[in-house]
Amino acid sequence: MIDFGFTVSPSSRINLDEVDKKSFVALSKIEPDVVKCMACGSCSASCTVSQFQPTSVRKAILSLQNGQISQAMDFLKHCMLCGKCTMVCPRGINTRHLIISIQKIYGK
């Protein structure tokens, strides 16, 4: 490797043109509620796990829409499916099923 005296880091900008939308469409077929989020943050605020690890359904949905799959998975991998987020979601999103569905579709 030749040292040019600088490195090229990948752009931190979200590029929506490059987002693979197919999986998201597949996801919204199994759990249509995925498109209902209005980003109020109730889920992350009440989350039993979020005191230990960054966990958030809201952020996972956002990351998926932005094509940041591994980041999305990181936001859910600590989840214990306790269902508090379902109880507090003002849009009535079935978050437990959404979480399992995301993990099934993107987790491979």
Binding site for another protein (CB under 8 A): 31, 33, 38-54, 56, 58-59, 77-84, 87-94, 96-97, 100, 103-104, 107
* Helix, strand, coil percent content, the chain, rounded in steps of 5: 50, 0, 50
Tell the smallest beta-carbon distance from residue 101 to another protein (Å). Answer: 9
Give the total residue count for the chain.
108
Give the nearer residue to another protein in terms of CB position, either 67 or 85. 85
Tell the smallest beta-carbon distance from residue 88 to another protein (Å). Answer: 5
CB 105 within 8 A of CB 26: yes
Give the nearer residue to another protein in terms of CB position, either 1 or 53. 53
Give the nearer residue to another protein in terms of CB position, either 5 or 92. 92
Residue 99, judged by CB atoms within 10 A of its CB (0-12, 13-18, 19+), counts as buried
Give the nearer residue to another protein in terms of CB position, either 7 or 51. 51
Cα angle 63, 64, 65; round to 5: 90
Tell the smallest beta-carbon distance from residue 12 to another protein (Å). Answer: 15
